[in-house]
Amino acid sequence: MEKEALKKRIEVAAGRLPADLVIKNCKVVDVYNAAIIEGQAIAIVDGCIAGIGDYTGRQEIDAHGQYALPGFIDGHIHIESSYVTPEEIGRLLVPHGATTIIADPHEIVNVCGLDGLRFMLDAAKKTKLDIRFMLPSCVPATPFEHAGAVIDAAAMENPITEEQILGLAEFMNYPGVISATDDVLDKLLVAIRAGKRIDGHSPGIGGKDLNAYVGSGIHTDHECSTTEEMLDRLSRGMYILMREGSACHNLRTLLKAVTPANSRRCILCSDDRQPETILKLGHLDNHLRICVEEGLDPILAVQMATLNAAECFGLNDRGAIAPGLRGDIVLVDNLKDFHVQRVWIQGEEIARAGTYLPAVERCDSTAVRGSFHVKDFSMAKLQLPLQSSHVHVIDILPGGVVTGKGTADVQRNERGEFIYQPEQDIVKVAVVERHQNTGNVAVALLRGYGIQHGAVAVSIAHDSHNIIVVGITDEEMAFAVEQLIAQGGGIVLVKDKAVIDAMPMVIGGIMSDQTGEWVSEKLKQIHEKAYAELGIRRDVEPVMTLCFMSLAVIPELKLTDQGLFDVTQFAFIPLEADVVI
């Protein structure tokens, strides 16, 4: 800061000079004292808050008694999981009160390596939303699949120093941390030596294993699904990122463990938030409504959406309405519904009455297009010869990303190949490697999806984003894969060897270059056709269910391009199951 700018701020704060902007007649939510400051004005100069009190300004706005809150901070979100780019996510989120998000770009980095990271950093500069990033720690997410890149500790040394990067993203390889493997230690030390934070991912870990995980320097976790897990981590000094996304809904459960004594270590986050969810329910404004519905004091809830996240991630210039902090301010009508009326970011009004005010400028995405390198794919690779009719099946558990480990007796032909039987609701699922030209195609069996006709193929497959395809026949599955590659990735629905609907995602095969509204409407159409024409069960989300089918860090059975993976054993298992006598 220049001396003259500092002097000007002091002069405005002291009332000797008029402010650039004064927001009058508001009820200021004081997150430091957990109190309301009634009938005050907020003075802003050069994008920063000069003071709260009786001020005049060159521009004055009457808040008419509305509540002034600090700008909302999402503690953990994957922009790519919204299927839109950073410029577009800013347009969607700011009208709901978001002024800062902490994003983990491991989806695009798993596809495009550091080119993907650079695209996200550059695109983030095109929106008024302040997007800060955590450097992906696990590329690939596990050693049990092929991704588009390998990011080791040496490759992290330069990116970790970037101002936009706050630290190391969720460390999903918790077995490697607990075992203190050399490559994991090297990555942890990159962040530790740079004085930056490390996000966690530790579902189901407890006891000494959790001590080892936290003791490595990891300070957050967004994977708590029970109050017991949450309290266990809080007692070890972790911040808990309480998740309410499109796929996982943990907030209501975890709120039961929040008290005035521990709330300051709790943060609100989305993890994954699709456009339809944002357009229908909102963002952290929805989280706040849930908090109040569950009986939490509204000011404690606001702290979790603002100050707590700022302190957790070392963003010392925001998180509250106080002198010297950024002019990130949200006006809401009340502290129950949290209807966002106006949003300022660094003193500039960015959203009003649900509308993002600036024009949207998009970043060049040439470097992250054309990300399909599939070798020798053919229908023959989808054959599934079995040594036994008693097999393992991946069981879909509606409502989340966890799958079950089941067994079934299936039909085989004279060559021992699986035969689809509609009454069993068991179909083939395949993962086709699309990054390294390995030619890998792994096939397994999926139960509970409900598909009765055609096939569905997607290139959104957490976290390495290979191709996942499910279908009734090898012909339909192969056709779906070929059409998906031809359109540059995304989603394809086929029936009778014809495309009945599709959503291209040309940016890394995982993000659209269209608006959030277009993506939302297209997904609605795809869902309805998946239910009505392909027969997929209506209690199963047809796209997102497939997107998480290869996520080999979430129990129980998953499928990668290298085979059927048991997450609880952290090992590949055969398709054939032992027959229980």
| Residue located via tokens 């700008």 | 71
Helix (H), strand (E) at residue 331: strand 329-332
Answer yes or no: is pLDDT of 245 > 60. yes
Whether 445 and 393 have beta carbons less than 8 Å apart is answered as yes
Class of residue 578 by CB neighbours under 10 A (exposed 0-12, middle 13-18, buried 19+)? exposed
Q: Where are the domains of the chain?
A: 76-314, 379-572
What is the Cα–Cα distance from 88 to 79, expressed in whole angstroms?
10
Lowest mean pLDDT among 311-320, 392-401, 461-470: 392-401
pLDDT tens, residue by residue, 478-497: 999 999 999 999 999 999 99
Confidence label for 142 from pLDDT (cuts 50, 70 and 90)? confident
- List, in sequence order, every beta strand (DSSP E) within 433-572: 441-447, 455-458, 467-471, 490-495, 498-504, 557-560, 563-566, 571-572
Confidence of residue 220 (pLDDT cuts 50, 70, 90): very high
141: confidence class by pLDDT, cuts 50, 70, 90: confident
Reply yes or no on whether the pLDDT at 580 is more than 60. Answer: no
Tokens of 315: 């963003």
Which tens digits make up the pLDDT trace of 291-304?
A: 999 999 999 999 99
Mean pLDDT over 551-574 rounds to 92
Give the pLDDT band (50/70/90) at residue 570.
confident
Whether the Cβ atoms of residue 298 and residue 69 lie closer than 8 Å to each other: no
Q: Find where tokens 């603002």 sit.
A: 306
187 — pLDDT class (breaks 50, 70, 90): very high
Helix (H, G, I), strand (E, B) or coil at 427: strand
CA within 13 Å, CB half, 271: 22
Place of tokens 């989280």: 287
Beta bridge partners of 353: none
Residue with tokens 């495309």: 499
Tokens representing 425 are 């609701």
Report the DSSP pairing between strands 426-432 and 403-409: unpaired
Q: Quick one: which of 73, 104, 77 has its CA closest to 326?
A: 73
Q: Over pLDDT 70: what percentage of the chain? A: 99
Under the banding of pLDDT at 50, 70 and 90, the label for residue 555 is confident
Contacts by 570-575, CB closer than 8 A, 24 or more apart: 570/175, 572/144, 573/392, 574/392, 575/384, 575/386, 575/391, 575/392, 575/444, 575/445
Burial 202-230 (b: 16+ CB within 10 A, else e): bbebeeebbebbbebbbbbbbbbbeeebb
pLDDT in tens, 409-434: 999 999 999 999 999 999 999 999 99
Q: What's the pLDDT tens digit per position in 52-80? A: 999 999 999 999 999 999 999 999 999 99
pLDDT of the residue at 576: 95
557 falls in which pLDDT band (50, 70, 90)?
A: very high
528 three-class SS: helix
Q: Which residue has the higher pLDDT, 277 or 463?
A: 277
Look at 33-37, 142-146, 228-232, 336-340 and tell me which has the smallest mean pLDDT: 142-146
Q: What tokens does 431 get?
A: 């993962």
State how far the Cα of 132 lies from the Cα of 357, in Å rounded to an integer.
Answer: 21
Least confident among 295-309, 505-519, 552-566:
552-566
Q: List residues bridging with 493 in a β-sheet.
A: 456, 501
Residue 578 has pLDDT above 80, yes or no: no
Q: What is the pLDDT of residue 339?
A: 98
Cα→Cα distances 449→441, 483, 539, Å: 20, 22, 9
Structure tokens at 13: 């704060």
Has domain 76-314 been given CATH number 3.40.470.10? Answer: no
Q: What is the pLDDT of residues 342-386, one digit of tens each?
A: 999 999 999 999 999 999 999 999 999 988 999 999 999 999 999
Q: Give the confidence band of 581 by pLDDT, cuts at 50, 70, 90.
A: very low
How does DSSP classify residue 328? -
pLDDT for position 248: 85
Helix axes 516-532, 86-93, angle to 10 degrees: 90
Read off the pLDDT of residues 313-328 as tens digits, 9 standing for 90 and up.
Answer: 999 999 999 999 999 9
Q: For 440-457, what is the HEC assignment?
A: CEEEEEEECCCCCCCEEE
Which whole number is the average pLDDT over 562-570?
92
Contacts of residue 325, Cβ cutoff 8 Å, sequence gap at least 6:
48, 49, 70, 317, 318, 319
